[in-house]
Amino acid sequence: MKTPLLQNPAVVKIVAPLIVGALLLTIWQVLCIAWKVPIYLVPKPTDIIATLWTDGPGLLRALGVTLKITFLAFFVAAVLGVIAAFLFVQSKLIESSLFPYAILLQVTPVVAIAPLIIIWVKNPTVALVVCATLVALFPIISNTVLGLRSVNPGLLNLFRLNGATRWQTLVRLRIPSALPYFFGGLRISSGLALIGAVVAEFVAGTGGTGAGLAYEILQAGFQINIPRLFAALVLISITGILLFSLMAWLAKISLSHWHESEMS
């Protein structure tokens, strides 16, 4: 019998990782049962799924809080990053004087500055968004700068020869050339925004109705409710994957008609 389905690359792209995942989960399950691993050390996948089912509503509400911070931070990072990139490419002087500080931003661990930001900024949501933004900002800046600079020199000459204004060159040449790089930055930053949000929540440790997933993980850890901890982890991972896919899809629909990276 023929299996044309497995020759379809789109199906393979989805089915193959699912099979690997199912296989790993089965091994995990079997090992847990075989070695009688206690649930407070490593819960079986079935335990985690059960917890996801029973604790679902609470965890999803927490996920909603984390997602809100992630998206806000991601949006702010994208806007600020693009503005900074446009500033940087205006002149070598601006770039040379500001770029080291952008790097400084990148290399400073957010856990180290989060307490400060939480003290300075009264509103906890805003404080968390600021932290996550700091984490997500740099890839957007550096990628967009790279993109705005990596214009085909031949095309640049063509624009000059035809007397293009600075504005025309920017809109018709630099921005389209930068788009693939910008989307690359978005893809990295979406994951970083999520990480930044979770880390900032960890540091803030805010509970109550505004508690995010990080708080749920902390609580579950204190209560040695390991299945719930794993369930929260699973939700974070799935969210990260979905965010990444969303960015990949965005890049695809905007670039697929011309850019090599997005062609099937």
Partner 1 sequence: MLMKYSEVEPDESTGHLAPDTDTVLFANRVEKTYGNGTRALDEVRLRIQRGDFVSLLGPSGCGKSTLLKMYAGLESPSHGHLRWLGTDAPAKSGLKIAMVFQEATLMPWANVATNVRLPLDLAGVPRAEADARVAKALEPVGLAAFGKAYPRELSGGMQMRASIARALVTEPDVLLMDEPFGALDEFTRNKLDADLRSLWAERLQKLTVVFVTHSIYEAVYLSSRVVMMAARPGRIVADVAIPESVRDDEFRLSDGFAHHCRDLSARLLSASGGDVGH
Residues at the interface with partner 1 (CB under 8 A): 152, 154-155, 157-164, 168, 172-173, 176, 179, 257-260
Nearest approach in angstroms of CB 12 to partner 1 is: 25
- Residue 99 neighbours by CB under 8 Å, 6+ apart: 88
Cβ closest to partner 1, residue 34 vs residue 161: 161
The DSSP code for 261 is: G
Nearer to partner 1, 57 or 153 (CB): 153
As given in the structure block, the two tokens for residue 162 are 């035809």
Nearer to partner 1, 126 or 164 (CB): 164
Between residues 162 and 209, which has the closer beta carbon with respect to partner 1?
A: 162
Pick between residue 109 and residue 153 the one whose CB is nearest to partner 1: 153
Q: How far from chain centre, in Å, is Cα 125?
A: 18
Q: How far apart are CA 74 and CA 78, in angstroms?
A: 6
What secondary structure letter does DSSP report for 41? Answer: T
Q: Is the C-alpha dihedral spanning 104, 96, 194, 115 positive or negative?
A: positive
Shortest Å, Cβ 126 to partner 1 = 38
Nearest Cα neighbor of 190 from 118, 234, 143, 132 is 132
Residue ranges in the chain assigned as alpha helix (H): 9-34, 45-54, 56-90, 92-107, 110-120, 124-149, 153-161, 166-169, 175-204, 213-222, 226-255
Q: How far is the CB of 244 from partner 1 (least distance, A)?
A: 24
Q: Least distance in Å: CB of 85 to partner 1?
A: 19
Closest separation in Å from C-beta 30 to partner 1 = 49
